Every structure is written in structure tokens, then in C-alpha cells.
Structure 1
Amino acid sequence: MRSGIPGLPTPHPLIDQLPSIYLEQDFLQRFLAALDDVLAPVLLSIDNLPAHLDPRSAPDDFLDWLAQWVAVDPHKDSPPELRRAAVRGAVTRHARRGTVSGLAEALRLETGTEPEIVESGGTAWSTGPGTPLPGQDRPWVIIRIRAAAEGGEGQLDRVRLEELIGAEVPAHVGFTLELL
């Protein structure tokens, strides 16, 4: 949770906004100084809002909130640079969602390794009726992910990966996850 910083100077002192006749009033100076202390964090946050909305410069706690805005759920234990990359590329990935390249990118961001993806579908072209359909009866995707050598399979969370894959592939497509 964000809070005020003691002694934070205000970028726009209220006393400077008054006509000069009021500048000599001691009570007014103290009252406006107290308001400046209260308003300084608000004004500085508003002044820095573009930096907070950019995933490259957003504070870590704000980055998690920003991820919710773009419908991304980066793993909390992943390094900050991977979480920032997930938020930064969210719009591009959403456009490719449901494709092999979109699934591969999501898995790369989650695991840090290149997945091997084999899909069952295919395309065919025919000038006559009755041509057999390509691929298998039910669309299926096989995903193979190699665990890092030092950590082994324990490094990868199967449940998290299956949830991610289920969200990325189309609803009518089944999948098999193989952790190697």
C-alpha cells in the first residue's frame, strides 16, 4: 500500500496561489502548509502518472494492478523483468491468442524456455466434393516443455501451466502437456 513520505515538498505550494495581501497572515500560512503536506503525495502521483502506466517504469506493486488492466496474470514468483514483459506485450499477445505462436509466447514468458508444440489440424484445397478433411477427428495440441537442467521438473508448476494452456487454446481444442 502506498503512503505519504514525511517532509515531501509540494510541487505547487498553495500559498503562492494567493494574492500578496494574504501572505503576511501567520494562521493562513500554517493552514496552507498543512494542506500542502496532505496534497503533496496526490499532486506528485498525478504528475508521475505516465510513468506508473508504463510497464517499463511502473513500481512493482503497481505493475500487478496494471497487469489486471490488460488481463494478464504473470506468476508472482517470476522475475520482475518477465512480469514487465508480460504486461508490455499483452495487447500483441491478445491479438494472437488461440494461435500456435500466441501459445508459444505465453509459455515462453511463463517458463523461460522454448516449448515444442505439435498441432493436429491441417488445411486442404479441393475442386471436388467429398474430399477427406485434413488433420484428426478432434483438434488436439501436444505441448512439450523441457525443464531447466539445474532444477528439473520441480521447477515447473504443472497445474499453473495447464491453467495457462487452457486459457490460451481455443475451447474446442484439447491438449496434452508433457514436461521433459
Structure 2
Amino acid sequence: MADRDAGTPSRRGLVPGLLSPAPVATRLPGVLQDDDLMVRFVSAFDDAYAPVHATLDSLAAYFDPWLAPDDFVELLAGWVGVELDDAWSSPVRRRIIADAALLHRRRGTIGGIVAALTQALGAAEVTVGDSGSCEWSQRPGGATAADPEPPAVAVRIAVTDPDEVDVRRVEALLEAVCPAHVAHRYEVVGLPGAGGAS
């Protein structure tokens, strides 16, 4: 279904040798099916329709992130609200899209933050702690009885090599998965025994 050259995106179009499951000539009136010129003329349409039939027959595969063509994976990401990172490999992109619904359900929770960072950074160990504080008011729009410490999330990311982690990507991901009203801070450290500096 897709023409794949190394380093170039896939393209859909004519597929040499692909037979149409519904040749146009069989749909002609009986009198025209005996006309050799007419049969050869309409067979040209079969070459154009065959990829359409093949696509429709395997349409479910286009909506499965594990089976979809690479260029269609980007479209799936937009549908499930995932912003793809250029640094992610195709298997990582597919895994993140497949797990998007679960991650969206857990977004803003400690488990959701850990899952999003672990998935995006690969084999990292992620620890998240929160201040446990909150602000409240007896009246809508009234003064809050603030805790001594405002709500905050502290994230510790342990990886094999901290120098390979792009902190801008970590910051962008934390902005996306942490509650908007909660401040966050993070540190990237080396795994114990992995030779990384903490």
C-alpha cells in the first residue's frame, strides 16, 4: 500500500500489479462486456481503483497505532491530543499514541505525571511528590485560607546519562501534564551505579 524509500515519507497511489476485487468491466452492460476495446478502456480505471479498495478493506488498520503507516501515525496523534516529539522513534510514537487515552484519564495526578515522563524518556525512574497543600474559600471568589506552603509538585528523574536528557522537552512535558494552578520543579540525576552525575 505504501511506497517506502529510505528517508522519505510514504506515499499512497498506484500500486503496480495490484488487482481490483471489483473490476469495472464486470459492471458494464452485457453487450459492452463483449467489446474488447471497451473492456481494455475501462480496465485502466481498475489500476486507479485497486488501491482505494485495498485501503477500504484494511481501513481498521489505519486507526490502530501499531499497524498504521508512519505518516498516518502523525494524524492519529492529533486525534488523541498527543504532540509528537521529533526525537521519538516510530515504536515510541506508536506506544505513546496507543496509551494516550489512559494517560489523558490520569493527567494531573501523580500516577499520570510518572507515566507520561517514564513513557517519553524511556527507561527513566521517575519520582513525584506533592506538597499536599491546598487553598480554599468559604465563599466563591472570597479570600482563601491559604496553607503556609502553596500547592507544588517536585519531580525527580533518574536516568543513565543526565547529559542526554533535553530539559526543554522535560519542561514542556511537565507543563502539559501537571495541573495548571500547581507550581512544579524538577531535577534530572544519574541512576545509582550508572556512572551518571547527580
> In structure 1, what is the Cα distance between the partners aligned to 2:71 and 2:32?
42
- Tell me the secondary structure at the aligned position of residue 39 of structure 1: helix
Give the match's secondary structure for 1:116: strand
In the TM superposition, structure 1's runs of 4+ consecutive aligned residues that sit over 3 Å from their partners are 133-136
After TM superposition, the structure 1 = structure 2 runs for residues 21-170 of structure 1, keeping only pairs within 5 Å, are 21-112=31-122, 113-122=124-133, 137-148=149-160, 152-170=161-179
1:134-158 deviation digits (Å, cap 9, x = unpaired)? 965311111111122xxx2232111
% identity of equivalent residues = 37
Q: Tell me the TM-score normalized by structure 2.
A: 0.77
Q: Is the 8 A contact 1:15 1:29 kept in 2?
A: yes
Aligned length: 168
Greater RCO, CA 8 A, separation 6+: 1
Gaps of 5+ in 1: 124-132
Unaligned 5+ segments in structure 2 are 1-9, 135-144, 190-198
Partner in structure 2 of residue 14 of structure 1 = 24
Letter in 1 for 2:12: S
| Residues 74, 110 of structure 1: 8 Å contact kept | no
CA shift, 1:177, in A, is: 1.6
More helix by share: 1
Alpha-carbon distance in structure 2 between the residues aligned to 1:40 and 1:134: 67
Q: Residues of 2 paired with 1:69 and 1:92: CA distance?
A: 14
Letter of the structure 1 residue corresponding to residue 46 of structure 2:
D
Question: What is the letter of the counterpart of residue 144 of structure 1?
Answer: R
Does the Cα contact within 8 Å between 1:103 and 1:168 map onto a contact in 2?
A: yes
Q: Is the 8 A contact 1:144 1:178 kept in 2?
A: yes
Q: What is the aligned-residue RMSD (CA, Å)? A: 1.9
